[in-house]
Amino acid sequence: MSGGRAAALLLVGVLIGGISGGAAATYLVSRYGPQAAVTPSSGSVLPLPTAAPAGSAVDQETVGVVQDLLPSVVTVINYASNGEPQSSGSGFVVDDRQGYIITNNHVVEDTRTAGAGNAFDVVFATDKKVQAKLVGRDPFTDIAVLQVPAQGLKAAVLANSDEVPIGSIAVAIGSPLGEFQNTVTVGVVSAKGRRVAESQQVVLEDLIQTDAAINPGNSGGPLIWAARRQVIGVNTLVASNATGLGFAISSNTVRQIADELIKNGKVVRGFIGVQYQQLTPRQAAQLGLPAGTTGIIVTQVVSGSPAERTGIRANDIITKVNDQAIDAEHPLATVMVKFRPGDRVKLTLIRDGKEMTVDVTLGQPPQ
């Protein structure tokens, strides 16, 4: 009720109190909620209502998450070679002993090239700013690791993202638009296992979908499972032309990739050793292949590669890796993201119109 209307009702109660004070008091109690009954005497004023205790269980849960994890969240500033800031995003501390910070690859990229930015600062919730060095980054999963001096840090815990139930309360913390540091938004875990194309070359897998508001600048910040106060994902993108469709890279993916980046400075993926082009529907029809056939056409086999040792030839059409079909939604580069040198995979291919399978032990990519 607005202050003016409440005052008007109080005034009416006073003016007609001598005539129908009981009725007026009953009306005011019903509007404001339960409180002690008051029988006004002539000339008295009814007391203002007392608000009920604030803070639902969800409120308390969210407040606890913020108090616990806000010190772990940082703003990441990316500088160009001329020393000027070129972009910013978010991140969070995952190792307080060694100073490791997780963020997105696209937060640390040079905005003009596919390379990394020239220098980085991180700003903590206390406004403390320190220089950070880039440990490593992986464009295929959009994960990067920075390192800062390990002084007075508080680390967030990475949860097992497979365990979080759909519908769980999720809290996102970050610095949207690079200006609104320490912004907190709340939603739920809307879905798990989503896959979204970040670009024509990169399709991100095993994403957590949330309706917690995620805006430019939130990238790299944590998505937190409120009930456990643990990070279940790294906020990375939103669906265009949609509301409440945000996505975070699952913490299980983050853990695997971050460990490799910290150990090697990069992620080394298994190497087949073929150059290729995508099979188009027109080419498939010209080759007399069944309608709906998808895959890649091998244009060249790298000398000394696993492909050459296995007997793969130019003009072979590779349609599957293990049981995963290669198509527009599952390009070969994305399918190979989870494989490492030494892994053994089964390739399904078509040669001279006949389907066959070969086993390939993946190698190290050439330096």
Residue with tokens 């339960």: 34
Q: Is 277 left (phi over 0), alpha (psi -120 to 50) or beta?
A: beta
Annotated catalytic residue: which of 219, 250, 251, 305? 219
Annotated catalytic residue: which of 72, 87, 106, 327? 106
Annotation says 72 is catalytic: no
Structure tokens of 256?
């695997």
Annotation says 219 is catalytic: yes
Structure tokens of 8?
């008007």
Annotation says 330 is catalytic: no
Annotated catalytic residue: which of 142, 175, 251, 327? 142
SS (H, E, C) the chain: CCHHHHHHHHHHHHHCHHHHHHHHHHHHHHHHCCCCCCCCCCCCCCCCCCCCCCCCHHHHHHHHHHHHHHHHEEEEEEECCCCCEEEEEEEEEEECCCCEEEECHHHHECCCCCCECCEEEEEECCCCEEEEEEEEEECCCCEEEEECCCCCCCCCCECCHHHCCCCCEEEEEECHHHCCCCEEEEEEEEEEEEEEECCCCCEEEEEEEECCCCCCCCCCCEEEECCCCEEEEEEEEECCCCCCCEEEEEHHHHHHHHHHHHHHCCCCCCECCEEEEECCHHHHHHCCCCCCCCCEEEEEECCCCHHHHHCCCCCCEEEEECCEECCCCCCHHHHHHHCCCCCEEEEEEEECCEEEEEEEECECCCC
Nearest-angstrom CA–CA distance, 22 and 152 = 63
Positions annotated as catalytic residues are 106, 142, 219
